[in-house]
Amino acid sequence: MRTYAIPLVPGPTTVPAEIRAAYQEDYGSADLEPEYYELYAETQEQLRAILGTRNAVVIMTGEAMVVLWGALRSTLRPGDRVVAVATGVFGHGIADMARRIGAEVEVVGFDYDEAADPQRVEEAIRRVRPKMVTMVHCETPSGILNPVAEVGALVDRYEVPLFYVDAVSSAAGVPLRVDEWRIDLCLVGTQKCLSALPDLGIVTVSERAWEIVREVDYAGYDALGPFRTALEDRWFPYTPSWHALAALNVACRRVLGEGLENVFRRHEEVAAYCRERLKAMGLRLFPRREEWSSPTVTAVYVPEDLPWPELDRRLRARGMVVGGSLGPLAGKVFRIGHMGAQADPELVRRGMDALEEVLAEARR
């Protein structure tokens, strides 16, 4: 399989050697060895620091989608009312997931090139009186960062029982304050800003959420319930991946070792540089207002004179790989992932140079 010297995909991101090395170690049985439980507890504390919470942290074997589904199934019953804030593919996707569980879902939809407007969300909360509000922090396909803090304040003011936030492509790349923003279920993956493999799903669970989990009593591979006491009981509902947990531990150690504020600054600076270079090339950013752009991913309109398949082919020929987009944006927008290990000034500079060369060649 070919690899690329300039990886700027929006995830799964490139995995640093230090994290890859953790996967190569030979571990014992996670079901039997006390060292596994010690590592699990240590990694929970690392994640609490990164996510700004004292809530419980559940780490499940499986890609982030396992916790996106599990958190919904563990807290919703048919007929429960949900307000789903949707500014893109994943916001609408979560709304559809809740519907499939049987929830009555009110979608507060926005154009894909704009961030959520808290005023419209407030109107829906007042009208619907939901059990849950769902929201995506960073809509990766469109490069939009949504105002989670403002919506969290509304959730708190109107005493909505549950606030469910998909932070898969924002956690460890932008500030995230789970407790301060009143997030009950914060969903995180390992393959974006943490730069590990897509093998674990992470969810923070508030005490409010745990009580609802107990009442719903959902049973399944992705159920949250068994994890409430898994560490103290020394019993997990299935054999966990020690290798994946060890790699996540190293990934968290890297983030905390650099310092959260330094990590966030690096992402902001690299994103700003990327966007300035793109505009200088005559390309148009997808977000209607630049301040809505995420520090972890930049979405750009495909140039009219160079269709996406051809642009992708030419970039790959120069050793650079970026991402197309999804849903209604497929073929119209491409994405540059400057998250995690890819939020590297030199890597992004090389990427912008390669893109500039491709555009100049196409316009001759």
* Residue numbering of the annotated binding site for substrate: 335
Rounded to an integer, what distance in angstroms lies between the CA atom of residue 364 and that of residue 352? 18
Distance of CA 343 to the CA centre of its chain: 15
Rounded to an integer, what distance in angstroms lies between the CA atom of residue 253 and that of residue 99? 38
Annotated binding site: 335
Rounded to an integer, what distance in angstroms lies between the CA atom of residue 42 and that of residue 117? 38
- DSSP E strands, the chain: 6-7, 56-61, 81-86, 104-109, 132-136, 138-139, 144-145, 162-166, 185-189, 200-205, 297-301, 320-321, 323-324, 333-337
Give Dmax (Cα) for the chain: 67
User: For residue 297, how many C-alpha atoms fall within 13 Å in the half-sphere facing its CB?
Assistant: 31
| Residues whose CB falls within 8 Å of the CB of residue 331, separated by 6 or more in sequence, listed in order | 302, 307, 308, 324, 325
Per DSSP, the three-state class of 304 is coil
CA angle in degrees (0–180, nearest 5) for 298-179-221: 80
Rounded to an integer, what distance in angstroms lies between the CA atom of residue 334 and that of residue 285? 10
Rounded to an integer, what distance in angstroms lies between the CA atom of residue 169 and that of residue 6? 20
